[in-house]
A and B are shown apart, each in its own frame.
Chain A
Amino acid sequence: MVGNEAQDKAPAPPGTTASGKSLGETVKLILAPRVRELRFSFHLMSRSVTSIAGLVLFMILVFVAAFPFLFANPVPGADPFVIPLNWEIPLPQPPGNDFMLGSGEYGQDIYYGIIWGARISMAFAIQVVGLSVIIGTVFGLVAGYKGGVIDEIMMRVTDVFLSIPGLILVMAIAAVLGRDLNSTKLALLAVWWSGYTRLVRGQVLSTRENTYIDAARASGSGELKIMFRHILPNSWAPVLVQGTMDMGSVVLVMAGLSYLGLGAPPGYAEWGVMVQEGQAFFVPGYWWMTVFPGIAILIFVLAFNLMGDGLRDVFDPKMRR
């Protein structure tokens, strides 16, 4: 402060920061406003019934995906993601005592497929969305911050990927790579990164014009530090919202691919493939093979869409004060 020469001249005592505060006090100073904002976010989320519903559904899904063996026992020694068969029951059985949600051909337990399908869907979505976010954020940061020729080239490339309708490009790549879940994962990744690149770049472009970026530069911060310490934290909110909604979209695309015959192989505990296998049986009246896996997909995507909607409202600055 101006005029406080005693403070300017005396050195700070040991165990304190340059401004004379203890470690504990500094930590509290950094954390307190962040904790306060976090609690306010939860408060905002809890005001909306739909957000709570989404959160509850999400937690149920995560629990089922994390501990599927608590709900449906895998056959020891076999791949748990292949629905176990019972060769003595060739015809699909309706929902009842033997099979809670009915069975497909040769005793294929629909309930088992739904439970373990949750794990496959959740794992798949996390991997695809997680990697796309990381790749897209890095590219978007670089393109938006550097600007110029690098930005132009990266944006043209991103535009090309965004110009082909998602499912079509994923189909083409998945067809070429072969029918298994890992190829499908790669195909989805090859398409999904572009959306985040454009999103992050837009955020970076609007953030970098702020005065505090100039101030950081003036005080000697390096480019990398500015990118990760100032620009990135102010840009990630839309990414979080989009990522949440994309968890659902990825599962929709994956199920669609499996339905067409490009994703999971038949007999797998994956909801899309289960619908495809059930389709042949539904005109004769074995409706449970198609209805239940579809409802599972619907609930999964609904949960993430509800959460995404809630998060979007939470991060909307107009609603925060």
Chain B
Amino acid sequence: MSYIIRRLLLLVPVLIGVSLLTFTVTRLAGDPWSAYLPNPERATPQQIEAIKEKYHLNDPVYVQYYYWFDGVLHGDLGYSHTARQPVTQAITTKFTATFELAVVAMFFAVLIGIFTGTKSAVKANSAFDQGSRLVSLIGVSIPVFWLGLMLLMLFYREWGLLPGPTGRYDVVKFSSSELHHYTYFLTVDTLLNGKFDFFWNVIKHLILPGVTLAFTSTAIIIRMMRSSMLEVLGAEYVKTARSKGLSEKVVINKHARRNALIPTTTVIGLSFGGLLGGAVLTETIFNWNGLGQWSGFAATSLDTAGIMGFTLVTAIIYVIANLIVDLVYAYLDPRVRLS
């Protein structure tokens, strides 16, 4: 319990530090007041003065930081001209699209990664092992955006099996306004609304971006799981378990894998950061209306408020994800809890 409290307390300085870093980076780019106006080019001097008063932009930097931070805590992150809405609103509307994609990708990456890595280690040097090692090596070496383009070329252009880069569903045939939104996850909501052809369309649109996004993470997890499983299988306690007469299945699943999962959990947490970054590229290719695509536009158009917004949001998500990973790690390895 005290471990959990300690970890939560550690969050505070890190989040403050992240806010400081984001604040510094975005203040480096142009006039601070333009981040709070919908049309900075057509701003009247009175409007600019009003903004400067409200956020104390004429005062020293540390005062500015205080008022900026105060604004953030009240949900005021400025106005994003790439999203044409306030940043906070942009984040809340685009969040579920990215979250759905990321959850699907992470889910399959972890499942396939752990399973394949374990089997690879148990059957070391077999054909399965050689194959999985080759695929995972390519997975960590391939550029995400190129993988997406190649998959599109094969499955959409050449074979016509899957839809093209048109977003989360076919907007000509379906509309999200015909759904009663329970969770804003299209997969769940379409099922709950009973619209099965819409659901199937959503699934088809999820496959290619999901595979693209998951590929590198899966490869990383396979490699880590395989190497830690190999190390564990050579350990003394595994020999003991076998000599006790336990079946190989029990030895692998109950003793070896649980211990091999420990370093793998850390890697899963770290690869989630890669997933958030990869989402930017994947969403850009597949025209996925989520945080990732918006981040790309905001960065290239120097949308200061947008840049600040997406940096803060992804940092918070990443920090929380790693907190969860650390808690799982503490659950798996009692030595961490008790130290």
Contacts and interface: CB of A to CB of B under 8 A. Distances in A.
B143 A176 contact: no
- Interface SS majority for chain A: helix
Contacts of A166: 273-274, 277
A160 B314 contact: no
Given A172-B311, A290-B146, A294-B146, A165 B276 contact: yes
- Interface SS majority for chain B: helix
B14 interface: yes
Interface in A151-193: 156-157, 159-161, 163-169, 171-177
Interface residues of B, number: 47
A275 B273 CA distance: 24
Contacts of A261: 296, 300
A172 B302 contact: no
Nearest to B157: A283
Given A163-B319, A248-B141, A172 B307 contact: yes
Nearest to A171: B299
A255 B143 contact: yes
Interface string A276-316: 00010011000100110110011001100110000000000
Contacts of B17: 156-157, 159-160, 163
Contacts, number: 146
B318 A163 contact: yes
Contacts of B273: 165-166
A161 B21 contact: yes
A159 B157 CA distance: 44
B300 A262 contact: yes
B295 A163 contact: no
A306 B223 CA distance: 13
A177 B14 CA distance: 25
Nearest to B316: A163
A61 to B, nearest CB: 13
Contacts of A302: 137-138, 141
Nearest to A275: B146
A165 B310 CA distance: 11
Contacts of B290: none
A133 B311 CA distance: 25
Contacts of A159: 14, 17
A156 B280 CA distance: 27
Contacts of B308: 172
A171 B149 CA distance: 21
Contacts of B300: 175, 260-262
A116 interface: no
Contact of B21 (A164, A290, A305): A164
A278 B274 CA distance: 25
B172 interface: no
B149 A164 contact: no
Interface in B15-68: 17-18, 20-22, 25-26, 28-29
A222 B302 CA distance: 50
A260 B150 contact: no
Nearest to A152: B13
Nearest to A167: B277
A259 B315 contact: no
Contacts of A290: 146, 149-150, 153
A209 B313 CA distance: 40
B143 A297 contact: yes
B155 to A, nearest CB: 13
Interface in B300-339: 300, 302, 307-308, 310-311, 314-315, 318-319, 322
A114 interface: no
A144 B145 CA distance: 38
Of all A-B residue pairs in the complex, the 4 with the closest CB atoms, nearest first, are A167-B277, A160-B17, A294-B146, A165-B273
9 contacts: A163-B319, A165-B273, A168-B277, A256-B144, A275-B145, A282-B153, A290-B146, A291-B150, A306-B137
Given A168-B277, A294-B146, 7 more contacts: A161-B21, A165-B276, A171-B299, A172-B299, A261-B300, A272-B145, A275-B146
